[in-house]
A and B are shown apart, each in its own frame.
Chain A
Amino acid sequence: GAGVSQSPRYKVAKRGQDVALRCDPISGHVSLFWYQQALGQGPEFLTYFQNEAQLDKSGLPSDRFFAERPEGSVSTLKIQRTQQEDSAVYLCASSSRRGQAWGDSPLHFGNGTRLTVT
């Protein structure tokens, strides 16, 4: 596709359920990022992949959050035993640039998944 695709667009989960959020980056993009955006806030970094390697997971809020990108393309963000504070929009972004210094290469964002935990 032409852009970053995320699914589902909306997800409602009962507290304690596990959820999986999918991101299809732009074809050929080596860098992939996950961000969490709480209501009324700016996005906050969760994790970063370069190809299949997870190079930075410092933003994951707890061990209930897990992300993978096994073949270096599609990525899944999994949240186990969801809590109400996990309610947020989860944004995925990709970039063609390798390495960490990507300031001169734009990030392409998807439309996000809005997760509501009831």
Chain B
Amino acid sequence: AQTVTQSQPEMSVQEAETVTLSCTYDTSESDYYLFWYKQPPSRQMILVIRQEAYKQQNATENRFSVNFQKAAKSFSLKISDSQLGDAAMYFCAYNTGTASKLTFGTGTRLQVTL
């Protein structure tokens, strides 16, 4: 079975600084997708960034980028120039191309301080 592990229950970063959130996963599949979702207090899950496993190039979306290490089954999220609005729960998630469901990690709560 696929599992997703987020070993950092909480992280804190100062405004304008950079923070990295960790995620590891376990799978026997060769073709899959990885995601980072943000969940603010409103509870709505918002897609931050997405990575296809067959792509070697790391995905980037403005201040958000990933470090995808396929052999190590690692998928970390880097947030640059952190803003107060980045404070939220962040979930790493996995999906295979043939499965209907997302498998989520347990989340990392990110605090952004002045």
Q: List residues of chain A with CB under 8 Å of any chain B CB.
A: 33, 35, 40-45, 48, 55-56, 59, 89, 91, 93, 100-104, 106-107, 109-112, 114
Chain B 80-106 interface residues, beta-carbon cutoff 8 Å to A:
91, 93, 95-106
Which residues of B have CB within 8 Å of A89? 43
Q: How extensive is the interface on chain B, given as a class?
A: 20 to 34
Q: List residues of chain B with CB under 8 Å of any chain A CB.
A: 4, 32-33, 42-47, 50, 52, 91, 93, 95-107
**Is the Cβ of B107 less than 8 Å from the Cβ of A109?**
no
**Is the Cβ of A56 less than 8 Å from the Cβ of B100?**
yes
**Is the Cβ of A48 less than 8 Å from the Cβ of B47?**
no
Which residues of B have CB within 8 Å of A41? 106-107
**Is the Cβ of B101 less than 8 Å from the Cβ of A101?**
no
Report which of A43, A100, A102 forms a contact with B45, defined as CB distance below 8 A: A43
**Is the Cβ of A101 less than 8 Å from the Cβ of B44?**
no
By DSSP majority rule, is chain A's interface helix, strand, loop, or mixed? loop
Which residues of A have CB within 8 Å of B50? 103-104, 106
**Is the Cβ of A42 less than 8 Å from the Cβ of B105?**
yes
A-B contact pairs, 20 of them (CB 8 A): A33-B101, A41-B106, A42-B4, A42-B93, A43-B45, A44-B104, A48-B101, A56-B100, A100-B97, A102-B100, A103-B50, A104-B33, A104-B52, A106-B47, A107-B45, A107-B47, A109-B44, A109-B46, A111-B42, A112-B44
